[in-house]
Amino acid sequence: MTWELAANVVTGGLLIGLVYALMALGLSVIFGVTRIVNFAHGEMTVLAMFAAVILFRQFGLDPILMSPIVAAGLFALGYGLQRYLVAPFVTRPEHEQFILLLAVAFALTNGMLIVFGPEAQGILTDYSFDSYEIGPLIVDKTKAIAGLISLVVAALLLGFFRYSATGRAIRACADNLIGAGVVGLNVPYLYALTFAIGAATVGVAGCLLSIIMDATPVLGPELTLLAFIIVIVGGLGSMTGALLGGVLIGVSEALAGLLFTPSLKSMLSFGLLILVLVVRPQGLFGKSGAR
Amino acid sequence: MLSVRDLTLFYGDAQALDGVGFDIGEGEIVAIVGANGAGKTSLIRAVAGMERPAGGTIRFRGADIAGWPPHRICNTGIGQVAEGRQIFPSLSVMENLQMGAMLPRARKRFRQSLDEVIALFPRLEERRDQAAGTLSGGEQQMLAIGRCLMGRPELILFDEPSLGLAPTIVADVFRIIRRLHEGGMSIVLVEQNVSASLRLSSRAYVLENGRVVAEGASAELANDPRIRQAYLGL
Ligand SMILES: Nc1ncnc2c1ncn2[C@@H]1O[C@H](COP(=O)(O)OP(=O)(O)O)[C@@H](O)[C@H]1O
Ligand SMILES: [Mg+2]
């Protein structure tokens, strides 16, 4: 194994890791504010992937250019889901929320099985096999685009929460829910908006994934699990943690494929998860003792 | 201005308010006093829409706001300085003040409100970029009051603003409340500190087990032997 090969594999893993990170960021945002764990996260990602596939196959539209449209669709889905289905469960015990969102996940997976069938469906754009040569590195164009866009969207998201009035109001809800009521913030609306933003993030991530890997309904649970691992490794509720966690998992998966065999990649991710839970239970960027 | 009638409130099966009624006129300070667990906070939270009353009416300038969500009630001009201050600890002081002004009625006058609040509490300007959770208890109470003022309320519900503060700070808080009143603000003051709140208010209601058991001019209540014995320890 040459070090060029290793560098290439790590770069590829890093770029895919950024897309994973974007997906996990959606989960982190929703949980950080509403304390609802979106067990349908991976399934929503796959839904976005299929949306991109359909738009491409039926209308010849590029998945990257379509990502704002798909994101808007998932935004609406997320908003409706929170407002009409999840909202009554916000104050109920966690296991009831768990069952509700698991039911949403099952409904999505089986719905997609009925509509799209079980086969893997991919997208072949005219740049699918292009690559950039940067010194000794050969980087797939699809991965480069997906990774960079993920980074940009993640930065936009962080900026929104940091600097916009609405983003601040959402942070205020996460910080002190009673306080939010006291100052007259419209909490049910902000919760729905948060879920919508998390879902829209997943919409973009799904479009980006659709040019890297094939869409299939059974990918949903796998991606949900992946998002959990990333968020827990990075630290629950920490947005930078989710970003770093995603990159870490992406690189470790890629290295597993190189050093051992690709089928071992999840094992390495789980190994990383266990290691973090043992050594630093609050996650790499989590605050200790938080909640 | 505000007129509450027959208000009842339950937590599950436990009744916290049992037919409570009280009134406050424009520019008035009314005290609601009572022992721990009497239902004072429940009354404030019901008026603010944070608990849903089982029955009764809450008329504010003619509209019955009972059962409205808190953000709508806030936007009619009813502000709240809640028990325990309820600031946003990990947001900066400035961000806390900005959150106070998110109401539609307050947004456009943000600058003016900020100037007024800073004139009242210069300390907040010094600490504007500090996380609110790192402020002292007294400073947090000033922030809670400032944040409330950012919403441009016309009636403020104070819930135990003196709780857990050092005596000198308590005096400051009561001085601020008096100053707001002199500026024309209508104020409902809920306190366990009965003697101070009777001195500050023009009228008062005594709450016991979710019921109003006495009401009248504060000066008269302060001389009522029953009240003196039960609440003033005299
Ligand atoms: N969230 C709640 N759930 C159940 N019971 C409550 C709740 N809040 C208050 N109570 C009960 O309602 C009664 C009135 O409480 P509260 O309004 O906080 O009184 P005060 O503010 O006068 O001390 C008390 O018996 C208290 O135990
Ligand atoms: Mg109380």
DSSP B22: E
- Mean of pLDDT values over A24-48: 94
pLDDT at position B128 over 90: yes
Residue B44, in any domain of the structure: yes
**pLDDT at position A288, please?**
61
Residue A272 has pLDDT above 80, yes or no: yes
When mean pLDDT is compared across A24-38, A119-133, A194-208, B168-182, the lowest value belongs to A119-133
Q: Assess whether the C-beta atom of B45 lies below 6 angstroms from ligand 1.
A: no
Among left, alpha and beta (phi > 0; psi -120 to 50; other), residue B62 is left
Chain B residue numbers touching A178 (CB-CB < 8 A): 50, 82, 86
* Yes or no, beta carbons of B151 and A184 under 8 Å apart: yes
Partners of A132 in the beta sheet?
A: A139
Domain count, chain B: 1
- Name the one residue in this structure whose structure tokens are 């916290």: B16
Mutate to test the interface with B, among A162, A170, A178, A183 (most CBs of B within 10 A): A183
Higher per-residue pLDDT: A273 or B112? B112
Kindly give, in sequence order, each residue whose CB lies less than 8 Å from that of residue A91, ignoring residues fewer than 6 positions away: none
What does the alpha-carbon distance between residue B187 and residue B24 come to, in Å, rounded to a whole number? 8
User: How long a stretch of residues is chain B?
Assistant: 234
Residue B138 forms part of a structural domain: no
3-state secondary structure of B53: coil
Q: Letter for the amino acid at A220?
A: G
Q: Which amino acid is at B141?
A: Q
User: What are the φ/ψ torsions at residue B109 (nearest 5 degrees)?
Assistant: -105, 25
Reduced to 3 states (helix: H, G, I; strand: E, B; else coil), residue B15 is strand
SS3 content of chain B, % helix, strand, coil (to 5): 40, 25, 30
This prediction's pTM? 0.92
Token pair in block for residue B192:
């366990």
List the one residue out of B131, B224, B106 whose CA is nearest residue A185. B106
C-alpha to C-alpha distance for A8 and A13, rounded to whole angstroms = 9
Q: What is the pLDDT of residue B227?
A: 81
Instruction: Tell me the sheet residues that pair with B155.
Output: B78, B186
Environment class of residue B117 by beta-carbon count within 10 Å: exposed (0-12), middle (13-18) or buried (19+)? Answer: buried
- Residue B124, domain member (yes or no): no
Q: The CATH number of the domain where B4 resides is what?
A: 3.40.50.300
The angle formed by the CA atoms of residues A11, A15 and A20, to the nearest 5 degrees, is 135
The token duo for A10 is 């790590």
Q: What is the DSSP letter of B54?
A: S
Q: For A182, which of B69, B86, B95 is closest by C-beta distance?
A: B86
With H, G, I as helix, E, B as strand and everything else as coil, classify residue A25. helix
- CB contacts of B98 in chain A (<8 Å) are 165, 168
Nearest to B45 by CA among B9, B18, B6: B9
By C-alpha distance, which of A101, A88, A110 is closest to A224? A101
| pLDDT for residue B168 is more than 70 | yes
Residue B40 beta carbon below 6 angstroms from any ligand 1 atom: yes
Residue of B80, B102, B151 lying closest to A169 (CB–CB)? B102
| Cα distances (angstroms) measured from residue A90 to each of A2, A85, A164, A166, A187 | 53, 10, 25, 21, 12
Q: Is B20 left (phi over 0), alpha (psi -120 to 50) or beta?
A: beta
The C-alpha atoms of residue A46 and residue A42 are separated, in whole angstroms, by: 6
Which amino acid is present at B177?
I
Report the C-alpha gap between A206 and A220 in whole angstroms. 11
Q: What pLDDT score does B234 carry? A: 60
Average confidence (pLDDT) over A215-240: 91
Number of CB atoms found within 10 A of residue A288's CB: 9
The two tokens of residue B126 are 């010094």
Residues with Cβ within 8 Å of B130's Cβ and at least 6 positions away in sequence, in order, are: B92, B93
| A76: three-class secondary structure by DSSP | helix
A234-260 pLDDT, tens per residue?
988 788 899 999 999 999 988 888 888
> Are the CB atoms for A283 and A236 separated by under 8 Å?
yes
Q: Dihedral angle at the C-alpha atoms of B142, B145, B150, B152, nearest 10 degrees?
A: -150
What is the domain range of residue B229? 1-75+193-234
B134 touches chain A (CB under 8 A): no
Quick one: pLDDT band at residue A1, thresholds 50, 70, 90? low
For A166, name the nearest residue in chain B, comparing CA atoms only: B102
Question: Would you place residue A280 in the very low, low, confident or very high pLDDT band (cuts 50, 70, 90)?
Answer: confident
pLDDT on residue A291:
38
Of A248, A74, A59, nearest in space to A153 by CA: A74
Phi, psi angles (nearest 5°) of residue B31: -100, 140
Place of tokens 């929170």: A82
Tell me the pLDDT tens digit for each residue of A41-63. Answer: 999 999 999 999 999 999 989 99
**Residue B40 pLDDT > 60:** yes
pLDDT at B13: 94
pLDDT, average across residues B70-96: 96
Given this model, what pLDDT does residue A258 score? Answer: 84
Identify which of A15, A247, A21, A25 has the alpha carbon closest to the alpha carbon of residue A158. Answer: A25
Where are the domains positioned within chain A? 3-279
Distance of alpha carbon B160 from the chain centroid? 8
Structure tokens at B169: 């700070």
B-chain residue closest to A183, CA distance: B100
- Is there a contact between A285 and A240 (Cβ–Cβ < 8 Å)? yes
- Strand B2-11 relative to strand B55-60, pairing: antiparallel
In A154-213, the residues whose Cβ lies within 8 Å of chain B are: 165, 168-169, 171-172, 175-176, 178-188
Collect all residues of chain A within an 8 Å Cβ-Cβ radius of residue B80: 182
For residues B145-162, give the mean pLDDT: 96
CATH number for the region A3-279 comes to 1.10.3470
Per-residue pLDDT, A290: 41
Minimal Cβ distance to B147: which of A165, A175, A183:
A183
Q: How many CA atoms lie within 13 A of A117 on its CB side?
A: 4
Structure tokens at B51: 């608990």
Q: How many CB atoms neighbour CB A251 within 10 A?
A: 19
Question: Maximum Cα–Cα distance for chain A, whole Å?
Answer: 62
